[in-house]
Structure 1
Amino acid sequence: MRIPPFYRKPAFQRFFGGMAVGGAISWCIFLYIYGVWQERNTELLQKQQQEIVDLNNEKKIWQDEYKEMNKRNLEQLTIQKINIKIVNWEKYKLDSLSVLETEDSVRDDINMMLAKDLETVYKSKDLLKKIIENKPVKINEKRYKLKVKEMVIYTNLTMQLEIQFE
Structure 2
Amino acid sequence: MHIPPYHKKPSWQLFFAGAFIGGIIAYFILIYMYGTMYEELLAENLELSSQVNDLKEQNAALLQDKEDLSEKSEEPLTINSISVTIVDGERLKLDRLIEHQLEEMVKEQISHIIGQEISIIDKSDQLLQSTIENKGFTIDDFTYYFEVKKLTISTDLKIEIIPQLSN
TM-score by length of 2: 0.54
Is the contact made by 2:105 and 2:137 (CA closer than 8 Å) also made in structure 1? no
Give the alignment of 1:1-166 within 5 angstroms.
71-74=72-75, 76-166=76-166
1:91 corresponds to which letter in structure 2? R
1:142 and 1:82 map into 2 onto residues whose CA distance is: 25
Instruction: Point out where structure 2 has 5 or more consecutive residues left out of the alignment.
Output: 1-67
**RMSD (CA atoms):** 2.1
- CA offset at residue 113 of structure 1? 0.9
Percent of residue pairs identical:
31
2:98 is paired with a residue of what secondary structure? helix
TM-score by length of 1: 0.54
Note the alpha carbon deviations across 1:79-105, whole angstroms, 9 max, x for none. Answer: 111000111111111121111111111
Counterparts in 2 of 1:93 and 1:77: CA distance versus 1, 3 Å: same
2:147 and 2:137 map into 1 onto residues whose CA distance is: 11
1:140 and 1:107 map into 2 onto residues whose CA distance is: 19
1:128 and 1:146 map into 2 onto residues whose CA distance is: 12
- CA offset at residue 77 of structure 1? 1.5
Counterparts in 2 of 1:100 and 1:71: CA distance versus 1, 3 Å: closer
Partner of 1:57: none
1:160 and 1:124 map into 2 onto residues whose CA distance is: 17
Counterparts in 2 of 1:123 and 1:114: CA distance versus 1, 3 Å: same
2:90 is paired with a residue of what secondary structure? helix
1:155 corresponds to which letter in structure 2? T
Is the contact made by 2:85 and 2:160 (CA closer than 8 Å) also made in structure 1? yes
Counterparts in 2 of 1:71 and 1:163: CA distance versus 1, 3 Å: closer
1:136 corresponds to which letter in structure 2? G
2:95 corresponds to which letter in structure 1? D
Instruction: Point out where structure 1 has 5 or more consecutive residues left out of the alignment.
Output: 1-66
- CA offset at residue 142 of structure 1? 2.0
- CA offset at residue 70 of structure 1? 5.2
1:102 and 1:148 map into 2 onto residues whose CA distance is: 14
1:144 corresponds to which letter in structure 2? Y
